[in-house]
Structure 1
Amino acid sequence: MVSHAESGFSRRARRAYTRDMPRPALLAVSHGTSDADGAAAIALLVRRIAERIPDAAVHAGFVDVQQPDAPSALAAIEGPAVVVPLLLSQGFHVRVDLGRTAAARDDAVVTDPLGPDPRLADVLAMRLAETDAETDAPVVLAVAGSRDPRSLPDAEGMAALLATRLGRDVVPAYLAAREPSIAEALRAHPGAVVATYLLAHGYFFDVTRREAGSHSLTEPLLDGGEPPSALVELVIDRYLAGEAELAALRGR
């Protein structure tokens, strides 16, 4: 979990959060995309999450491209809220954009992003099994990339989890901000398959497809069909952790 300072909780906020408040709302915040298929896949994920926790209000927000933006979405929520980043690593969006958004509220926290997590390794392994690549081929993990130094151990940690899950080499490579690039990693590993470590179709998936060239390439975590149950469970677990943080703060 992020620290209380980052989540915007002050001593005054903790006093204000009383036992008679309702179950917190869940604000699921994704990056946003202009790709219609990607936007539909994320919207379906949010619907499936809402179906799993019918006693909590579930809302969607975005840090870029789509509306409502995260500050507007949170402002529209009355009562306590848990902001769950539908993002795969720490970075500017989680620490600054969402951190500041929650800091404007006395009754909101921001959870950890979705990754790294073994359940994401399970989904990535499922996507790899759907390709025609050799089962012993090395894997280049295509990561969006961030200049935030906290994002690097997250990407490397996810590569390590996937390597353990598969029992073969996994090399992280980046679509922006860091090196190696996808093209550089593939030159070093010419027989590799590219595992798309992105939530859904959009700009970065288009870049990944171009960089992958003739190499086998997986679909994103959300492929346009039913969201993987492991991904739904992961988001709900992040929400439950945020709910527990709010309850602990309320009891102080």
Structure 2
Amino acid sequence: MTTLVACSHGTRSPVGRRVVAEIVEAVRVELPDVAVLPTFVDVQEPEVGGVVAGVTGPLVVVPLLLSRGYHTKVDIARAVGSRADAVQTAPLGPHPLMSEVLLARLAETVGPAGVRPGDHLVLAAAGSSEAVAVVDVEATAADLRGRVSVPVSVGFAAGATPRIADAVAQARADGAERVVCLSYVLAPGHFADVVRGAGADLTTAPLGADPRIARIVADRFTAAVAASAAG
């Protein structure tokens, strides 16, 4: 049986830790016959390299990260590369279900009236100096543009430009009557605080332990297992 190693960034926030634990538990519900092991690339233990080294039999590492970046290219890739029977999947995003989660958080924030003409959405991500991370966030924004009738731009808390506050200011300069930041972070913590402080009129809650995130993890895992079986 192939083991699923769910690898998140790690956080000092007790709420953030609880959200990740809830996601891992939801994955276990989605895949009741699969061993699901949580691990981290920073801040928390157990560290991904040690977990991967200790698993008996084949394994699939699913990054509980919203885009590719340093941790997928270096930390997780190094751990997976240490053994021939380990596979790394794509991160959580971009994925159509991730767009659904973002729009669910948006609906909770704007209420029954919904998005209105004159609104502008800023997809507010943590950010990375890796170009592939920007590509992945832009892909999620592109998917959102196909689902809503108002402009969608992107902003980053760190590592890339434009910064979230600058994206909010630009939206207003372009004539937006109301700017809504979509918090493209999993859980409360430092980056969620940066999004909330960027000056938007409204800011959505972090993605949280939405059941659709567990389904993304399950999709990534089952696709990787099927690909390995096919040779």
TM-score, shorter chain, exceeding 0.5? yes
CA distance in 1, matches of 2:167, 2:6: 33
Count residues with an aligned counterpart: 222
Q: Is the 8 A contact 2:13 2:189 kept in 1?
A: yes
Residue by residue over 1:180-234, the C-alpha shift from the partner in whole angstroms, topping out at 9 and shown as x without a partner, is 11111111123210000111112111111222x3621101110xxxx32221111
Equivalent residue in structure 1 for 2:108, among 127, 130, 135? 130
Structure 2 gaps, min length 5 = 173-177
For residues 91-170 of structure 1, the aligned pairs below 5 Å read 91-132=69-110, 135-136=115-116, 137-170=119-152
* Residue number among 153, 172, 175 corresponding to 2:157 in the alignment: 175
In 2: Cα distance, 1:103 partner to 1:172 partner: 33
Q: Could you tell me which amino acid in structure 2 is paired with residue 203 of structure 1?
A: H
Give the distance between the partners of 1:77 and 1:175, measured in 2 at CA: 35
Q: Corresponding residue for 1:64?
A: 42
1:163 alignment partner AA = R
- Aligned partners of 1:228 and 1:167: how far apart in 2? 24
AA partner of residue 161 (structure 1): D
TM-aligned CA deviation for residue 168 of structure 1: 1.8
Pick from 75, 84, 100 the counterpart of residue 62 of structure 2.
84
Distance 1:240 1:178 in 2: 32
Matched, 1:234 2:212: no
Aligned mates of 1:160, 1:245 — CA distance in 2: 28
How much is the aligned-residue C-alpha RMSD, in angstroms? 1.3
Note the alpha carbon deviations across 1:146-181, whole angstroms, 9 max, x for none.
111111211111111112122221101011111111
Question: Comparing 125-134 with 95-104, which one deviates more in the overlay?
Answer: 125-134
Give the letter aligned to residue 36 of structure 2. V
> 1:174-213 counterparts in 2 under 5 A?
174-190=156-172, 191-211=178-198, 213=199
Kept after mapping to 1: 8 A contact 2:121/2:153: yes
Letter in 2 for 1:217: T
C-alpha distance in 2 between matches for 1:185 and 1:167: 19
Deviation at 1:248, TM superposition (A): 2.7
Is contact 1:82-1:109 (8 Å) kept? Answer: yes
Overall identity of the aligned pairs, in %: 41
Q: Distance in 2 between matches of 1:141 and 1:187?
A: 14
Deviation track 1:23-82 (CA, whole Å, cap 9, x = no partner) reads 210000011111101110110110111122121100000011111011112122111100
* Unpaired runs of at least 5, structure 1: 1-22
Q: Which shifted more, 232-241 or 213-222?
A: 213-222
Match of 1:244 in 2: 226
Conservation of the 8 A alpha-carbon contact between 1:28 and 1:83: yes
Partners of 1:194 and 1:153 lie apart in 2 by 19
Rounded to whole Å, the distance in 2 between the matches of 1:28 and 1:240 is: 13
| Distance (whole Å) between structure 1 residues aligned to residue 30 and residue 106 of structure 2 | 27
Return the TM-score normalized by structure 1.
0.84
Q: Moved runs in structure 1, 4+ residues, more than 3 A?
A: none
**1:80-135 deviation line (CA, Å, top 9, x unaligned):** 10000011111111111111100111210000111111111110000011113761
1:43 matched to 2:32: no
